[in-house]
Structure 1
Amino acid sequence: MEQYENEVQERWGDTEAYAQSQSRTSKYTHADFAAAKVDQEAATELFVYAFGNSISIHAPEAQRAVVAHREAISKWFYECSVEMQKNLALMYVQDPRFKKYYDGRVNGLAQYVHDAIMAQ
């Protein structure tokens, strides 16, 4: 876990989002982190449903998943703008760890999440 913390600090340590996330999460209990995970998983499940049902990335169902994803990040970690969310989407297909997370749910989901976020 420490290797990821170092990587995050190295990549984003001088950003407002990082400072905001650190400020928020430093006060979280285990229950808070569990609740954050529930919100994030719920957003992911919306993507799984849309992708699994071959719903267009432009359709309201897919775009609801995009909004839920952004809102979960903003609620628990930092204010996530559309631009920031699009940067995250790039990471979801470029970083093998994120790609594995999404594609581990359903093969091809990482690309779908990326494309849906980019389509907003």
Structure 2
Amino acid sequence: MDRTEMFEGLEEFDHEQYREEVERRWGHSDAYQESMRRTRAYGKEDWTRITEEGETVFGGLAELMAEGAPAAGRAAMDLAEAHRLHIDRWFYPCSHGMHRNLADMYTADPRFEAYFEQRGEGLAVFVQDAIRANEARWRNRS
């Protein structure tokens, strides 16, 4: 499958726009290499499923935030864990620590923050807090 077909249906996201930056920042990492290996094999149905799963997680977190649920509450942490497992299943092994690092980017990089904020003001921080709480929950189990 070529890159045009791979991202069909995701036209609003210009994946090529960030390719050089992504390769410069993470191209040397095992996670990046694994993600490239896995995603090359995905077809249109896979990308549809990946997108739907991601929407379920972030939509659920947005709903919880809108309801006033705590980011450190069980429901939000469970969705954060679902997000981590989503990355782990589809892209690369994602430890709780790596997931926490991703969450830190969600508020540090305005592009990530804007992605979340379009769903609701404060969602980037809510997602970050839920992921941090989930990481702490798993760390405390050890």
TM-score (norm 1): 0.94
| Alignment match of 2:53 (pick from 21, 30, 39) | 39
Larger Rg: 2
1:118 aligned onto 2:132 = yes
Listed as ranges, the matches of 1:1-120 within 5 Å are 1-120=15-134
Hey, what's the Cα distance between the residues in 1 that align with 2:102 and 2:121? 19
Q: Name the amino acid aligned to 1:75.
A: R
- 2: CA distance, partners of 1:100 / 1:40: 16
Cα contact 1:43–1:72 (8 A) shared by 2 = no
In the TM superposition, structure 1's runs of 4+ consecutive aligned residues that sit over 4 Å from their partners are: none
Deviation for aligned residue 1:90: 0.8
Question: Which whole-Å CA distance do the structure 1 matches of 2:82 and 2:47 have between them?
Answer: 17
TM-score by length of 2: 0.80
- Structure 2 residue runs without a partner (length 5+): 1-14, 135-142
Structure 1 residue 3: deviation in Å?
Answer: 3.1
CA distance in structure 2 between the partners assigned to 1:108 and 1:54 by the alignment: 12
- In the alignment, is the contact (CA less than 8 A) between 2:72 and 2:129 conserved in 1? no
The unaligned stretches of length 5 or more in structure 1 are none
Amino acid at match of 1:109: L
Tell me the number of residue pairs that the alignment of Structure 1 and Structure 2 aligns. Answer: 120
